[in-house]
Amino acid sequence: MSGLLDGMRVLDAGIWRPVPHATQMLADLGAQVLKIEPPGGDPMRNFPQLFRDIAGHKRSIELNLRTDEGRARALELVADADVFCEGWRPGVAARLGLAYDDVRARNPSIIYCSVSGYGQTGPNVERPGHDVNYQALAGAIAPRAGEAPAIPRVPLADLAAGTFAAFCICAAWAKRIRTGEGERIDVAMADVVASWSGTSSGNLLRGRTEPTRGSAGYGVFRCADGGWITLAVISENHFWQAVCDALDLAPGLRDLGHLERLERFDECQSAITKACAQLTRAAALERLTRAGAPVAPVLEPDEMASDPQFRMREVVFDAGDGTARLGFPARLLEHPPRPPGPTPDVDRDRDGWAT
């Protein structure tokens, strides 16, 4: 199968999730990824189901980069690579002799990508952290008034940074093909989340301490069987009318315009809450979907894995052993991504780039 990134060689020195997530996206699109694993293997191997989703189609070589022999072997592999990715804390690559200047000396056109919590510069450059720290600093988990911040279920900073790194690598490779020039890419997890969070206070209005309440018909609602649904009416009158029709809300609410719904927010939201509490999640979804309302269930991950939307789009595959595997989250017509592939045993590809 021909992929969009056929011919790209990626040397992946990352462990855990951000860098391997980035290089998995590249591998799905056809890149040849050689994973440098520390002695004993990537610690993510202790989580087999997660590991297989970030190590499919990759090769593996076990190297102790703290030794002269391991470092020399890594630099040999760099010479034939297009991309070098690392996820160490700033300063570690230099101590290992694998900083950008070290790698570029061996391969002047290398695309060198670092993914770290706070980046290679700035006052936090030496501060340790993990996903929730970066989200917190970036404003992504700021609480509403009167509520406590909640730890996000999805490691957004890890995955966002990995995705952004893959995007930058592809852009740099396009330039390299045209000009032969390499690139130094510095991706900070906190930066990416901050760029998504934005600089406004979100639900806070300048000069006020109370949050704005949003739009009637926008939020999460509990059903009679304990399940939850989400509705997403903003200013659209036709969506609001669809919610009213599906849930048999009081006739006087249906014809309210957006500004009127804002003025009577509590009344409108309370009516939806009471109506949903009388229906099972399945019944609420059926009625709201049939009416054309913007509705979706709140699913657990195992429910998501069996949802027909994700199955049809091949975001989720059967692994063949009774479990599910994640596929590439975009469709490509002419050069489709590779389906989930096998993960390598540690050090299986001792010969490096050799077939």
Query: According to the model, what pLDDT value does residue 338 have?
Result: 72
Q: How far apart are CA 103 and CA 265, in angstroms?
A: 59
What ranges in the chain are assigned the alpha helix state H? 18-28, 48-52, 68-78, 92-95, 100-106, 131-137, 156-179, 189-197, 237-247, 251-254, 258-263, 265-276, 281-291, 301-305, 308-312
Residue 10 has pLDDT above 60, yes or no: yes
Instruction: Tell me the fold of 218-298.
Output: formyl-coa transferase, domain 3 (3.30.1540)
Query: According to the model, what pLDDT value does residue 200 have?
Result: 55
The domains spanning 9-198+316-326 and 218-298 adopt the same CATH topology: no
* DSSP structure class, residue 204: B
As a whole-number percent, the residues of the chain with pLDDT over 70 amount to 90
What is 9-198+316-326's CATH number? 3.40.50.10540
Q: What pLDDT band is residue 198 in, cutting at 50, 70 and 90?
A: low
Residue 193 has pLDDT above 90, yes or no: no
**pLDDT tens by residue, 77-112:** 999 999 999 999 999 999 999 999 999 999 999 999
Chain CA centroid to CA 153, Å = 12
Residue 163 has pLDDT above 90, yes or no: yes
pTM: 0.76
Query: According to the model, what pLDDT value does residue 211 have?
Result: 36
Which residue ranges make up each domain of the chain?
9-198+316-326, 218-298
Query: According to the model, what pLDDT value does residue 303 have?
Result: 81
* DSSP structure class, residue 124: T
The C-alpha angle 246, 250, 251, rounded to 5 degrees, equals 90
Query: According to the model, what pLDDT value does residue 204 have?
Result: 37
**Element (H or E) spanning 9, and its range?**
strand 9-12
Residue 180 has pLDDT above 70, yes or no: yes
Residue 112 tokens read as 């060198």
Classify 270 as helix, strand or coil: helix
The C-alpha angle 267, 224, 312, rounded to 5 degrees, equals 105
Q: What pLDDT band is residue 230 in, cutting at 50, 70 and 90?
A: confident
Residue 303 tokens read as 């429910």
Average pLDDT on 299-322 reads: 76
Q: How far apart are CA 217 and CA 355, in angstroms?
A: 57
First to last CA, the chain: 16
